[in-house]
Amino acid sequence: MKKLNIFILLIAIVFIGCERDDICAESTPTTPRLRIEFYDATSQEDLKSVPRLTVYGEGLILDDDGMEIEPIVVSNKTIIFNSNQNTVDLPLRIDDDIEEERTITRFILEKDTNLRLDTENPETSNVDIIEISYIPKFEYVSRACGYKSIFTDVEVTLDTNNDSDTWISNNIAVDIRDVENENEIHVRIFH
């Protein structure tokens, strides 16, 4: 009887002491993306969709010779392709083994992509580049999930070099400077 009690006690300890630590739950917050909403520049409280928006990271789409080109079809390198949008979630770059150093990621935002894609009567779309600078930090989540990145001291600017026809007004509001989750609007862009 004594051996049976010890055996039951050992089994109970094993089951109570074990935790499911090898699976990261889908609901666990991971590295957030920067969430941007687009607003009307004349009526700044009103959301305003960007017509036929295409968004992609600078330097990601290249031709066979390694020259940067504009996308002509949706791919895994475009975040949004030729779609009416009033919100976009941008993944921020994390350099390997560099923590707490200012990092810069640039994104190309193309308005009216359909005009460029029209093969019968092509016109030019309007391309603007935003530059996002931030300090990445790593935060421990759990043994199963590992680390996630958070981004602090976020700044967003419009690159107006060599661009006299910007569709984004120079009024960009960074509402939340520390990106710790993607359930909030971090930046408002007016156009």
Which tens digit of pLDDT belongs to each residue from 118-168? Answer: 887 778 889 999 999 999 999 998 888 888 999 999 999 999 998 888 999
- The answer to whether residue 185 sits within a structural domain is yes
Which has the minimum average pLDDT: 68-72, 89-93, 123-127, 187-191? Answer: 68-72
- The answer to whether residue 111 sits within a structural domain is yes
Q: Please check the confidence at residue 32 and state whether its pLDDT lies above 60.
A: yes
Q: Which pTM value belongs to this model?
A: 0.82
Domain of residue 183, residue span:
32-190
- The answer to whether residue 108 sits within a structural domain is yes
- The structural domain count of the chain equals 1
Convert the chain into a string of H (helix), E (strand) and C (coil). Answer: CHHHHHHHHHHHHHHHHCCCCCCCCCCCCCCCCEEEEEECCCCCCCECCEEEEEEEECCCCECCCCCECCCCCCCCCEEEEEEEECEEEECCCCCCCCCCCCEEEEEEEEECHHHHHCCCCCCCCEEEEEEEEEEEEEEEEECCCEEEEEEEEEEEEEECCCCCCCCCCCCEEECCCCECCCCCCCEEEEC
